[in-house]
Amino acid sequence: MIRLENVTKVYDGGVVAVKDVALEIAKGEFVFLVGPSGSGKSTLIRLMMREDQPTNGDIWVAGKHASAMANWKIPHLRRSIGTVFQDFKLLPNKTVYENVAFALEVTGRPRSVIRNQVPQVLKLVGLSANAERYPRQLSGGEQQRVSIARAFVNRPLILLADEPTGNLDPATSVGIMRILDRINRTGTTVVMATHDHAIVDAMRRRVVQLERGRLVRDQRSGVYERRSRSAGAITEELVAPLAVPPAPRLDPEIPARQPETASPPPPAAEVAPTPSAPPPEAALPEDEPETTS
Amino acid sequence: MSLQYVFIEAFNNIRRNALVVLGAILAVFISLLLMFGTLIFGEIARINTLRWSEDVRVIVFLRDEFRDVDELQEEVQGWEEVAEVFYLSKSAAYDEALELLRNNTAARRVIEEQPTILPASLRVRPADLTDYDTIVQRLQGSPGVEQIITAGPQVDALAGLRDGLRVVFWVLSIALGVAAVALIANTIHMAIYARREEIEIMRLVGASNWFVRIPFLLEGMLEGLFGGILAIAVAVFVYRLSLDRLTDLPTFINIQIGNEFLVRWGVLTLVFGVLVGAVGSSLSLAVHRYLRT
């Protein structure tokens, strides 16, 4: 469904965002892209949706050679990809229904299809009762569900989500993950970039980890982070300039978490039966950390 | 894509930036008013100086029985005061008279009854447009000459005025036309900026490039059209008003121009206005980063 071959992306100014990444994602898979900010997750998502072109390498998405296709063909590629972002990207002057219908309208779908599909997908995300509301009248989680509904309404083959729970509290995030899981169960390939340890650890899906643009781990039923000494060293090196003092090193459990203080603390019990789980981390330190595919 | 959608979008844009749009429309209006006014004025001048067009200042009517026209033409052509001589046959003279007397039905009927009444003639363009007495004197004795008429100071003045004004008006029209294009480009630029979120989402969900662009293109064309309609309305109104008011003009000046002329050039002026709008919006669409793929 998605194949990346030796993909490198260097932005203007020489910033290497993605370096020599090879990745194959099969139809129907659910894949987490994890890694610290700036590790290249978002760039990878942008490359997959052909918002950017790789500097080197080839990308195939939904059977199309995305990295080599002409610009005018991009809209057709996009119709087989749904996209969800951290900031929802809803239109404030349109209702929930209109926001979702917009995706079908602008791709020229007949009105009968719109009238049929929009209520269906609103039901899927549990927003049937809010169809006539405006985004500002909704909570963050509800807004994100609208944006998922919009991404899914034309039944794309692939759903790309760039930190969809980044602005949401843990309990709300659980609701979002349930919906993404449900969408994945319909056969849709889901690729989700995230910082959210709890979610990744609870879902136990394939985890692809990036560090400074390189793919450092690709693991079935993975967790957010397992630190080999080297990976930990890299993280520390990255975090060093920040105000986190080396002190936490004394405690083997803290350094794993502390650099990511921005991410939500204890996840909701429904998803993660072992909330804020430091024990698993302590238990798993030497577990084959780098199975680069 | 539905036509209704496209028009609603275009009108909404215009409404949102009413003041800026008004500025652009006014620029188109003034530019096209000058252009259309120049065309009307030029037509009036042309009708009144028809025989003296192409800088003819001396007309030599020939006797019907005169046979050595070619020799005479050759001889006159040889004179250093003469820039050019051409021959107008009896049938060409008939056509010319019909045109000259377009608004004088009585005189036209006389000619139509006797198509051969008008003599053939030699038309002389002097080397010096203001001094052609010598030519007249030298021709006076020639055997085939029936009568010689010269342009006289009024025609010299009118023709000079016409040429001078024409240059000024065209330069002004073009300069204002360029300004109109730039102002329309600006309104479209603002419309695109105002709707950048919507455009971003349209592109995310796979709206084709044309679907995104056509409303903006149409908006520019509508602005051009409005400016054109305004220009024609005002020009025709002023022209009609002067027809009513200027009743005591000297009889040799004819300010009647045909409706056919007004309609033909009116339509062309409108087309030109739409074109100005299309060029303006295309410029804006071409450079705008929200639309770049």
Out of B5, B205, B209, the one facing A103 most closely (by C-beta) is: B205
| Interface contact flag, A154 B201, Cβ < 8 Å | no
* Tally of CA atoms within 13 A in the half-sphere of B266 that contains its CB: 16
Q: Helices marked H in A186-228 — which ranges?
A: 197-203
ipTM of the complex: 0.72
Q: Name which residue leads in pLDDT, B49 or A49.
A: A49
| Interface contact flag, B201 A102, Cβ < 8 Å | yes
The contacts of residue A178 (CB under 8 Å, 6+ apart) are none
Please say whether the beta carbons of B136 and B72 come within 8 A: no
| pLDDT above 90: percentage of residues in chain A | 63
Q: Is the C-alpha dihedral spanning B257, B260, B266, B272 positive or negative?
A: negative
| Interface contact flag, A106 B211, Cβ < 8 Å | yes
Residue of chain B minimizing CA distance to A149: B205
For residue A83, list its beta bridge partners: A160
Q: What is the pLDDT of residues A44-103, one digit of tens each?
A: 999 999 999 999 999 999 999 999 999 889 999 999 999 999 999 999 989 999 999 999
Interatomic CA distance for residues B34 and A144, integer angstroms: 55
| Interface contact flag, A72 B209, Cβ < 8 Å | yes
Whether residue A260 is predicted with pLDDT greater than 50 in this model: the reply is no
φ, ψ for residue A243, nearest 5 deg: -80, 10
Q: Is the C-alpha dihedral spanning B99, B105, B107, B112 positive or negative?
A: positive
B6 has a chain A CB within 8 A of its CB: no
Query: Which pLDDT does position A103 carry in this prediction?
Result: 93
For residue A9, list its beta bridge partners: A18
A261 has a chain B CB within 8 A of its CB: no
Best probe of the A interface among B3, B9, B204, by most A CBs < 10 A, is B204
Query: Which pLDDT does position A280 carry in this prediction?
Result: 39
Question: What per-residue string of b and e applies to A67-97 under the rule 16 or more CB within 10 Å gives b?
Answer: bebeeeebbebbbbbbbbbbebbbbeebbbb
- Mean pLDDT of chain A, nearest integer: 81
Q: Which residues of A touch B1 (CB under 8 A)?
A: 108
Whether residue B289 is predicted with pLDDT greater than 60 in this model: the reply is yes
The contacts of residue B216 (CB under 8 Å, 6+ apart) are B10, B13, B188, B191, B192, B281, B284, B285
Nearest to A24 by CA among A179, A165, A189: A189
Q: Which residues of A touch B212 (CB under 8 A)?
A: 106
